[in-house]
Structure 1
């Protein structure tokens, strides 16, 4: 238009549209709020502060292999969005993006978000392309301070598996690295870090891949030296393996001893001396990761929400299948511990393990029990393994197996198994569902057991009755 000065030519964007000048305010852009973005709009420019930068990690798919990296930004209205880049574009942006810095972004693919991988309160995300223009702007705060909502560990007991959460806690134990073999034959490193928060419930954080070595070694050294360590894990995924766990891969954001308000109560509390193994009566405790349920309640819950359930059941052990009550297991060491894989008999005094790919003259015997449990609401079948069988019968699997060939005693496997029946037990179980031949089945695995503590059981029942009267 006449009378308006022509603005000086701007610096041309670098490869893939990246422009990172010195942190100064450039010419005014027509900034759009993040909440105004939609997949059908191509001409937009947004401005925000990086609240979370994730590590670069590699991916493998049947079509191609590559690398991916993402970061989250928040604008002055408090709206967040995730920005993701792949391959060469990810390599270009990764070292240029700084957490806490502010950027102006234009041109990119706006698409619907996959909530399996993104828990931000936004239904959209941005994929950077070759035409994307990303400029760093002044270092003044663009958006409001983001307040992370950390999930207390006791809330994890009722959190659905695969949910993405943020947690903060004191490191109470750091395990050694173990090697896990995946179903496709590949291996991955794993390290378990135990943390607890103000609820004092200890939860396992599973570090996978590079984080088990890099972060895991740092945590191990600090914890071993007696350093008080507070760990923040962001965008971790809730899982289930012998109870609720948190799975953290290399792309998850970690922070050690953060300077945030949520860490202060943990510092003031200090380390607590807590046994990592539950007390024998802990199966009745409210703070335990298993919730008390009847058999009918379990079946009803699975019918409407087919998620794995960790629960305790107070039941009578009604029946144990005798044939077979064991399986033949590999006795060799695999990744530093006993293999326990089912082995096959090739000939007399010759066994073979499919995992170890080795032959040996003698196998081990491990319990594989199928038991029918009954309470006042119904019956259910459950599986139990070596740790449960050894405690239930006070005999190792091999000792019970050899009794059938021992002519010097009247004890037989049948008598031992029958003696354990028709008694009251409290079982900590993992209940899940699977599909076989298009038929949905319930699978119950016993994790822990104890003979019924009638005093503790009475206390729990009285507490439930009191709660029912309070409601009414």
Structure 2
């Protein structure tokens, strides 16, 4: 049961999901007095007949079922429990291989089944409003041998997370089946688990049998590690032309690896200024606006500060044998690429004792081969479709490793023919 507050009124709401003999689902929602009436009468696994209800379009924000409609119970609705000898039924699940989930667009709802392979300790995440929320990351892999992070938030981070951790630590082979959860992205694809999650531990279903037969020893490939090359991975090597062609046909968010030459870096705006003050116990990092000489204003702290921090925002032209595109690189990538902090590079233009300038530092890394892991997406601006490219990882090309990679690709191509 949840409380809601709107401009017009306050109240309470709860919902539950039902499945019929054909395996199709629909959500039923109750408000206020109707919610109070039915909340303690609904039992998981029991059969019901529902009639005299209202049907409306489902909200994609709150309703994660694969159904564009949902049912609202009103004062005239009847929710009647049936006898327990009704034929068994279950939801029709279509489990997605993890290697396919890694190439799925963000916010897509997926069913996933996999073996628990690792845990992380509970993290306390501080929100912008100062409140905190608990999070635990569980890693699972499946028959595709790829690994994905499952983020457990709020109560599941402690309850389910601790249960899974104890089972895994005791040597129990743990299979986790997840239903109707969203795919997200932050330094790699993940699956978010909400408080109202639907899951099963070690389910007795056909899709779990191959994992049981396979056992827990099969090595897994973690897409968050560098240097992963696989034909089905979102980190497979792509050319710029193939990226442009793919996104022209199907707009999506794509993460991949490209081998390119760094053709040009803009010098006029290679940095932005951020607030160094403490906000809710950590560095603010909000972008500051300059008021005058040695004076900046932070819009979040509402404070004038005499000195700010500098962060990279590099705009770079990437080229390969097929095409070129512009990409952005932020502070971590910029520092790794240039071996200087943004503030150190900024101060070079005022240091008259040395001959180095920002332009000379930028020129040193140009016309060099790199492997970049990039996040590519499309957006619309003034009715024009545009491309947004962000560099997440950078690695200078190791020609010995590159030769081995190319030889492996040639062998693989020969094997397929």
Q: TM-score, normalised by structure 2?
A: 0.83
For 2:192, the equivalent position in structure 1 comes to 247
For 2:31, the equivalent position in structure 1 comes to 87
Kindly state the Cα deviation for residue 399 of structure 1 after the two structures are TM-superposed. 2.1
State how far apart, in whole Å, the 2-side matches of 1:106 and 1:74 are: 15
For 2:339, the equivalent position in structure 1 comes to 394
Alignment pair present for 1:195 and 2:139: yes
For 1:214, the equivalent position in structure 2 comes to 155
Kindly state the Cα deviation for residue 446 of structure 1 after the two structures are TM-superposed. 0.5
Kindly state the Cα deviation for residue 129 of structure 1 after the two structures are TM-superposed. 2.1
For 2:287, the equivalent position in structure 1 comes to 342
Question: Of the candidates 328, 342, 351, which is equivalent to residue 406 of structure 1?
Answer: 351
- What count of residue pairs does the alignment treat as equivalent? 406
State how far apart, in whole Å, the 1-side matches of 2:134 and 2:213 are: 28
Kindly state the Cα deviation for residue 189 of structure 1 after the two structures are TM-superposed. 3.5
Question: Of the candidates 348, 353, 359, which is equivalent to residue 298 of structure 2?
Answer: 353
Encode CA deviations 1:230-253: one digit per residue, 9 max, x unaligned.
Answer: 554322112233332223333333
State how far apart, in whole Å, the 1-side matches of 2:407 and 2:204 are: 42
For 1:308, the equivalent position in structure 2 comes to 253
Q: Is the 8 A contact 2:266 2:316 kept in 1?
A: yes
State how far apart, in whole Å, the 1-side matches of 2:18 and 2:214 are: 32
- Kindly tell me: are residues 96 and 463 of structure 1, through their superposed partners in 2, closer, same or farther at Cα, counting changes over 3 Å? farther
Encode CA deviations 1:2-57: one digit per residue, 9 max, x unaligned.
Answer: xxxxxxxxxxxxxxxxxxxxxxxxxxxxxxxxxxxxxxxxxxxxxxxxxxxxxx44
Gapped runs of 5+ residues in structure 2? none
For 1:176, the equivalent position in structure 2 comes to 123
Q: Is the 8 A contact 1:178 1:335 kept in 2?
A: no
State how far apart, in whole Å, the 2-side matches of 1:374 and 1:273 are: 35
State how far apart, in whole Å, the 2-side matches of 1:266 and 1:358 are: 59
Alignment RMSD: 3.5
Q: Is the 8 A contact 1:194 1:202 kept in 2?
A: no
Further displaced range: 432-441 or 265-274: 265-274
State how far apart, in whole Å, the 2-side matches of 1:238 and 1:152 are: 13
- Kindly tell me: are residues 118 and 406 of structure 1, through their superposed partners in 2, closer, same or farther at Cα, counting changes over 3 Å? closer
Alignment pair present for 1:102 and 2:51: no
State how far apart, in whole Å, the 2-side matches of 1:427 and 1:136 are: 58
For 1:281, the equivalent position in structure 2 comes to 227
Q: Name which one, 1 or 2, has greater alpha-carbon Rg.
A: 1
Encode CA deviations 1:290-348: one digit per residue, 9 max, x unaligned.
Answer: 23221112222222222111111110000001112111112234455433221123455
Gapped runs of 5+ residues in structure 1? 1-55
Q: Is the 8 A contact 1:174 1:219 kept in 2?
A: no
- Kindly tell me: are residues 189 and 286 of structure 1, through their superposed partners in 2, closer, same or farther at Cα, counting changes over 3 Å? farther
Aligned residue for 1:388, secondary structure, equals: helix
- Kindly tell me: are residues 366 and 175 of structure 1, through their superposed partners in 2, closer, same or farther at Cα, counting changes over 3 Å? farther
Aligned residue for 2:385, secondary structure, equals: strand
